[in-house]
Amino acid sequence: MPHLTTSGAVRPAIGADRLGIGVPGYAHPLLAPVEWAELLRFSRLYAAGAGHSAPLHWTVLNVAEGPGARPDPHCLEAVGRLRNAGLRVLGHLDMTYGAREFGELISDARNFLDWYRVDGFYLDRCPGEREELPATRRLTETLRTVLHGTDALDGGRLVLGHGTHPFAGFAETADQLVTFSGPWTDYRWSQAAPWTASYPASRFCHLVHGVPRTHLEEALRIARWQGAGTIWFTDRTDRDRAGDQVGSPWEGLPGYWDEIVSRIGPGVSE
């Protein structure tokens, strides 16, 4: 059985917070048309109250490691459909663990807003050390200013893609932190940092690849016990591309997509 937390605080496994889905970034719409279309179908099912579908909290748009050099017509069409359906789209900003220049990140953010009218930003490879907190706070405060006055859904959302538990102070700089991103072999034995117990589940996201169908219920239980409000679980791995090339496990749908959205509902059996 996984060691779910390192503190004495006990998180409820059922019913405290309803899990939702965050999509960390599909492939380009020309390469993954089924995936982008499925988001619309999924949102319609949820809006209609069909089954026990879970809410889609956000999806990430990554045109070319950012917004690209110019507006992409295929991405414009895909994002337009999602936003017209009331779905939140976040622009992908790669912080490269603090190595990217502040001005470059703000320029990319403005292009995302000008070209695709995104609803916020996913700050990938965000640093998590205490000494990096002031620079990250400066960036997120500036991004809030950039978002102010736009038509971003709910005023815009910022998600920090640490991929692991950062210094606790980062929790005050954004709407949500990705505190796990990695393989199932690590996730099933992972632990939640004690400081996370002070925050609601809506502040945390877990992204897990290589989850076997037979362990899906266990993975959902771990997410609830560790206090995650947003998840993306997939059976895909980073070697799912043709020719055994290393690729992103997030680029396509999980093989059990319909099953996972039906399981994330009022609760998961204990």
* pLDDT tens column, 195-215: 999 999 999 999 999 999 999
> What is the DSSP secondary-structure string of 164-201?
S---GGGGGSSSEEEEEEEEHHHHTT--B-GGGGGS-G
Contact residues for 177 (Cβ-Cβ < 8 A; gap 6+)? 159, 160, 162, 166, 170, 171, 203, 204, 205
Extract the tokens encoding 214: 């037979």
HSE-CB at 126 with a 13 A cutoff on CA atoms is: 35
Which residue, among 234, 232, 226, 233, has the nearest Cα to 203 in the 3D structure?
226
Contacts of 143 (CB under 8 A, 6+ apart): 106, 109, 121, 156, 158
Identify which has the larger pLDDT, 263 or 190.
190
**Which tokens belong to 160?**
């920090």
Which of the four pLDDT bands, split at 50, 70 and 90, describes residue 240? low
Q: What angle do CA 93, 86, 80 make, to 5 degrees?
A: 65
- Residue 70: count of CB within 10 angstroms of its CB: 10
pLDDT on residue 123: 98
pLDDT for position 27: 93
- The pLDDT tens digits of the residues spanning 47-56 come to 666 554 568 9
Query: How far is it, in rounded angstroms, from Cα 16 to Cα 154?
Result: 23
Report CA 105 to chain centroid distance, whole Å. 19
Please give the sequence-ordered ranges of beta strands (E in DSSP) within the chain, or none if there are none.
Answer: 20-23, 56-61, 89-94, 120-124, 157-161, 176-183, 204-209, 230-233
Tokens of 145: 């200013």
Residue 6 has pLDDT above 80, yes or no: no
Q: Write down the pTM of the prediction.
A: 0.89
pLDDT at 111 over 90: yes
C-alpha to C-alpha distance for 233 and 216, rounded to whole angstroms:
8
Q: Is the pLDDT of residue 98 over 50?
A: yes
- CA angle, 127 as apex, 222 and 166 as ends, to 5°? 40
